[in-house]
Amino acid sequence: MYANHRGVGTRTVAGYAGDVKAVTDNGRASSPDSRADPRIGIALGSGAARGWSHIGVLRALEAMGIYPGIVAGSSIGALVGAAYAGGQLDRFQKWVESLGWRDILAYLDLSPLGGGFIQGERILAFATSHVGDVDIASLPLSFGAVATELSSGREVWLREGSLLDSIRASVALPGLFAPSRLGDRWLVDGGLVDPVPVSLCRAMGAEVVIAVNLNGDIVGKHLQNHARQRLGRRREAGADTDLWSRISRQLSKSFGERNARLLSELLGEERGAPGLFDVLATSINIMQDRITRSRMAGDPPEILLTPRLSWLGLMEFDEAGVAIEEGRASVERMRPLLEHTFDGF
């Protein structure tokens, strides 16, 4: 028996969007905040390091008295959303704000083999310690993550089972992170099919959806001059440069001269032309922007928040403070609409 909301279905287990059974909140633990409203859903979008702005968004909404009871996340949005749905956001934010680039390097188990430049096992260990490996059904808030089935390209909604497995699958950015095996399927980043999971929020029962789109102004920005100028200013000030350059320097200590030079070329440091990761980051930006536009045209949210972080690199996770503040600012820019929507809700 199927129950649809705006023509979208969902399944009680990890399943395919559009061919799935409706889920309710039966048996779910009490909310970390009794004010959480099961009619309000928040769709936290993909965007790598820009995803720390989700923390600022959630904090600003709380300050306005808005407490979503349904949380859907794609890629980095799944990680932040899991912390929020599990009542662990305070602890998670404290850790995020303490990150330096050396800490980030420590979490990157680098390898050119295994389907991705980063294997992800150390990140998985981090998630265990800061979010917890619990069953999704036991979370205080209703939670779902989006992933992509590698063999078919189908959208997969992860609503039951291990929270850790759902995060690992949703953040497996192709070419960067190795794919995740769940059951008999290989899963990769949810941003490939649904960068801002509004439809999943609706299928989980949300009547009003607040969507956070991190991809609204990013196309081409990774290669634009102002980003390069920003890095130049950081070099002049003696500050650390972008994370890929740091990785290059770190790996060069372990590699021979020829391999170190090859790595520099992959990173675009030698030729003044886009390197492998410049091309990868920009291609991902283009793809996610186009997919987001298409998906939202068919199923627009009631509230759309757009943190402006186009300057932030794919892996600059050490810029959490700035990203969180921009998340707060994106809520302030939409305050009139938020107040109008939730007045007397």
Q: How far is CA 16 from the centre of its chain?
A: 20
pLDDT of residue 105: 72
d(C-alpha 215, C-alpha 253), whole Å: 35
pTM: 0.80
pLDDT of residue 337: 97
How confident is the chain (345 residues) per 10-residue block, as mean pLDDT?
33 37 38 79 94 98 97 96 94 90 70 57 66 88 97 96 92 81 93 95 97 80 47 45 54 50 51 65 81 91 94 84 97 97 88
pLDDT of residue 279: 76
The residues, ordered by sequence, that sit 6+ positions from 184 with a Cβ below 8 Å of its Cβ are none
Q: Is 2 left (phi over 0), alpha (psi -120 to 50) or beta?
A: beta
Q: How far is residue 5 from each of residues 117, 182, 285, measured CA to CA in Å?
A: 39, 28, 30
DSSP-based three-state secondary structure for 143: strand
Q: What is the dihedral of CA 124, 125, 128, 131, to 10 degrees?
A: -70
pLDDT of residue 7: 34
List 53, 74, 75, 170, catalytic entry: 75
Answer yes or no: are the C-beta atoms of 212 and 54 closer than 8 Å: yes
d(C-alpha 88, C-alpha 81), whole Å: 10
List 165, 189, 242, 278, catalytic entry: 189
pLDDT of residue 4: 33
Sign, CA dihedral 332-322-304-73, equals negative
Burial 266-286 (b: 16+ CB within 10 A, else e): bbbbeeeeebebbbbbbebbe
Burial 200-234 (b: 16+ CB within 10 A, else e): bbbbbbbebbbbbbbbbbbbebbeeeebeeebeee
Burial 45-67 (b: 16+ CB within 10 A, else e): bbbbbbbbbbbbbbbbbbeeebb
d(C-alpha 138, C-alpha 142), whole Å: 9
Answer yes or no: are the C-beta atoms of 154 and 148 closer than 8 Å: yes
d(C-alpha 36, C-alpha 66), whole Å: 8
pLDDT of residue 289: 86
d(C-alpha 329, C-alpha 74), whole Å: 21
Kind and range of the H or E element at 147? strand 142-149
Q: Which of 150, 230, 157 is nearest to 197 (CA)?
A: 157
Answer yes or no: are the C-beta atoms of 275 and 266 closer than 8 Å: yes
DSSP-based three-state secondary structure for 196: coil
**46 classed as catalytic:** no
Say if strands 116-118 and 180-182 run parallel, antiparallel, or are unpaired: unpaired
**289 classed as catalytic:** no
Q: Which of 310, 285, 10, 41 is nearest to 160 (CA)?
A: 10
